[in-house]
């Protein structure tokens, strides 16, 4: 896992002012980077450099010159401080010879289990295609005896059930882990089961807890799903109404009295499990981290997800996961 290190020279300080997104430096320099160059050098051109050097020497002795140098020094100090605190996490792509050649995910965009699989694929930088399944007709998966999602087809082999999919993929791309299990495997397994048996059941009662949040959720579902224009309208309003009542049954089934309190409690339970570590996996995410991140990703920017981040300590971990997982490995059609 890479981390930003202490800068040893001005050139490194200057480069550190480039914006970092998802573990990779931005391609264009930031305004402060340009200002730092101007303040110290005036220009990068070599033409007439001797005359400009004399001008700079003269300029630097005056008040304006001292101000410019102070600005440059301040920017350099900020760059160093930023470099010491900004953590840059790297993806973990498998060796090229172990990367599957053809991966197709049959999914619903808003499905937490589908997003769990995508988090694993994205983190390991395994390119994949998406087939968005129409949940009404399911015509896209008529070829399969399995009528649920996710379905992942890897080099012609059908894999089903999100946790089983991830296990099978992990065995393919990390064969040494199969040969030599880690002492942390039990902890990882425990929390992956917690995701499937507990955390995921906190989602529906929260995203459908009232009519406005149910409509917000179905607006997201229909905007990202595979629906005709007529189906979008019907599904948004009929689906929101239906799921509002279904969520009440789910509350009773899972003994939930206060939806938000249950979601917050689950988030805090996860943070406590980290026990001060950046990730459950330590310095890098393990499959439990990816599972939690995956199932929370569909709700993160809905009202329930925003409330969760605002009222619990999970936000910092989630931000680290966003940086670690980085850009989607999806192959655009």
Catalytic amino acids?
Answer: 108, 111, 113-114
Rounded to the nearest 5°, which phi and psi values hold at 55?
-60, -40
Do the strands 151-154 and 157-160 form a parallel or antiparallel pair, or are they unpaired? antiparallel
Q: Is the Cα torsion angle 315, 316, 321, 323 positive or negative in sign? A: positive
Rounded to the nearest 5°, which phi and psi values hold at 81?
-60, -40
Rg of the chain's alpha carbons, rounded to an integer? Answer: 25
Contact predicate 274/100, CB 8 Å: no
Of 215, 205, 278, nearest to 246 (Cα)?
A: 205
Q: Alpha helices, DSSP H only, in 225-275?
A: 229-234, 240-253, 259-274
Whole-angstrom CA distances from 288 to 13, 163, 270, 310 are: 36, 10, 10, 23
**Token pair of 248, please?**
């009440």
> CA–CA separation, 161 vs 12, rounded Å?
47
> For the chain, what is the total number of helices (H) and then of strands (E)?
16, 6
């Amino acid at each position: 896992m890479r981390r930003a290190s202490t800068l040893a020279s001005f050139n490194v300080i200057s480069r550190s002012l480039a914006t970092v997104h998802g573990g990779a430096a931005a391609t264009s320099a930031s305004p402060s980077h340009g200002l730092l160059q101007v303040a110290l050098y005036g220009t990068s051109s070599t033409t007439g450099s001797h005359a400009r050097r004399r001008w700079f020497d003269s300029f630097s002795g005056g008040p304006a010159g001292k101000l410019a140098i102070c600005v440059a020094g301040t920017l350099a100090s900020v760059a160093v401080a930023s470099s010491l605190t900004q953590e840059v996490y790297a993806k973990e792509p498998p060796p090229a010879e172990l990367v599957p050649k053809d991966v197709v995910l049959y999914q619903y965009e808003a499905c937490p289990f589908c997003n769990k699989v995508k988090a694993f694929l994205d983190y390991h930088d395994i390119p994949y295609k998406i087939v968005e399944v129409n949940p009404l007709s399911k015509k896209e998966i008529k070829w399969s005896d399995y009528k649920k999602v996710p379905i992942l087809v890897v080099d012609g082999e059908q894999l089903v059930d999100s946790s089983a999919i991830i296990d099978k993929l992990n065995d393919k791309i990390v064969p040494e882990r199969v040969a030599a299990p880690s002492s942390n495997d039990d902890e990882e397994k425990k929390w992956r089961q917690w995701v499937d048996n507990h955390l995921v059941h906190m989602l529906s009662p929260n995203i459908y807890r009232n009519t406005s949040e149910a409509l917000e959720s179905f607006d997201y579902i229909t905007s990202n799903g595979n629906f005709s224009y007529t189906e979008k309208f019907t599904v948004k309003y009929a689906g929101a109404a239906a799921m509002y009542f279904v969520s009440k049954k789910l509350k009773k089934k899972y003994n939930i009295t206060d939806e938000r309190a249950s979601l917050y409690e689950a988030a805090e339970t996860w943070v406590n499990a980290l026990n001060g570590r950046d990730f459950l996996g330590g310095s890098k995410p393990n499959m439990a981290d990816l599972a939690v991140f995956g199932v929370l990703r569909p709700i993160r920017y809905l009202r329930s997800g925003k409330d969760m981040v605002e009222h619990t300590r999970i936000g910092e971990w989630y931000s680290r996961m966003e940086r670690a997982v980085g850009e989607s490995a999806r192959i655009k059609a």
